[in-house]
Amino acid sequence: MESRKGLIRFLSDTEEKQFLSNISIDCVVLGFHDGHLKVLLLRFTETDLYALPGGFVRQEESLDEAAYRILAERTGLQNIYLRQFHTFGDPARRNDATHRQIMAVRGLALPDSHWLFERFISVGYYALVDFSEVHPKPDDFSDAADWYELEALPPLVFDHNQIVDKALSALRLSLEYAPVGVNLLPEVFTMADLQQLYETILGTRLLRTNFQRKMLSLNLLERVDKKRTGKAHKAPYLYRFVTRTFPDGADSSSGFLD
């Protein structure tokens, strides 16, 4: 979308309806860095309003396709593990003042009847990304796309803080039966990295020695090589997931349980 012109076209409701009414998608993009889970937030241009990257569903695309497109359009991220986790439908979850503020900054005064002020149901997706590989870029609505620590998020617009909470719950649950590390860690990593990730997601401490055995017993990891860290101790092995699962385009119908 090329800046202001694109913005206006996006918002027009005189031309043929391009989006489904009353439905939005919000993505909780999670990364892992420095022992912390991070969430990707957009800041709306010239405001102090932070939001999850979200958007609307085109007439011809599925929810999953929409989620991928929205994430790409709004952050530049592509080929990412995305999973639908919950749909948020509180009638009071949005407030118009926020939208007006966002638009006012761009010099756009929308009429009260504009579709943007209707009620929206939002389908929540969470995304897991390799923090080190990803370089989000803000779109025309935003002047910043940055990572924030999950434990210390700023207040977000609408019910986005709740959406993040729910996403984390879903992630914790999935940790029990899916190798989420594949998506949150670089191609190769140390056992300590993996353990730190698990501890962060679960919010508990784990015993180093037993964690190692447990992980290796799952036959998901393959030992690669020794790392020379230049640190004054034994260099750890590097590992890689053997099942390069969830490459992309994971249809939600092949969800958790199938």
Q: Which of residues 126-185 bind its own copies (CB under 8 A)?
A: 162, 166, 169-170, 172-173
Q: What's the rounded Cα separation, in Å, for the pair 114 and 102?
A: 14
Say whether residue 60 binds its own copies (CB under 8 A). yes
- The partner residues of 93 in beta bridges, in order of sequence, read none
Say whether residue 123 binds its own copies (CB under 8 A). yes
* Contact yes or no for 70/140 (Cβ under 8 A): no
Contact residues for 148 (Cβ-Cβ < 8 A; gap 6+): 38, 39, 40, 41, 50, 154
- The partner residues of 223 in beta bridges, in order of sequence, read 239
**Per-residue contact flags (x/-) with DNA for residues 219 to 248, judged by CB under 7 A:** -------x-x-xxxxxxxx-----------
Among 10, 13, 18, 20, binds its own copies (CB under 8 A): 20
Say whether residue 90 binds its own copies (CB under 8 A). yes
Q: Rounded to the nearest whole angstrom, what is the least distance from the CB of residue 211 to DNA in the complex?
A: 8
- Closest Cα to residue 189, out of 132, 127, 149, 116? 132
Among 173, 192, 202, 242, binds DNA (CB under 7 A): 192
Q: Rounded to the nearest whole angstrom, what is the least distance from the CB of residue 96 to its own copies in the complex?
A: 15
- Sequence-ordered alpha helix ranges (H) in 118-249: 160-175, 181-184, 191-202, 208-217
- Closest Cα to residue 238, out of 201, 206, 192, 196? 192
Residue 243 touches which of DNA, its own copies, none (CB < 5 to 8 A by kind)? none
Q: What's the rounded Cα separation, in Å, for the pair 96 and 8?
A: 18
**Per-residue contact flags (x/-) with DNA for residues 171 to 190, judged by CB under 7 A:** -------------------x
Interface residues with its own copies (CB under 8 A) are 20-23, 57, 59-64, 66, 84, 86-91, 119, 121, 123, 162, 166, 169-170, 172-173, 252-253, 255-258
Interface residues with DNA (CB under 7 A) are 190-192, 207-210, 212-214, 216, 226, 228, 230-237
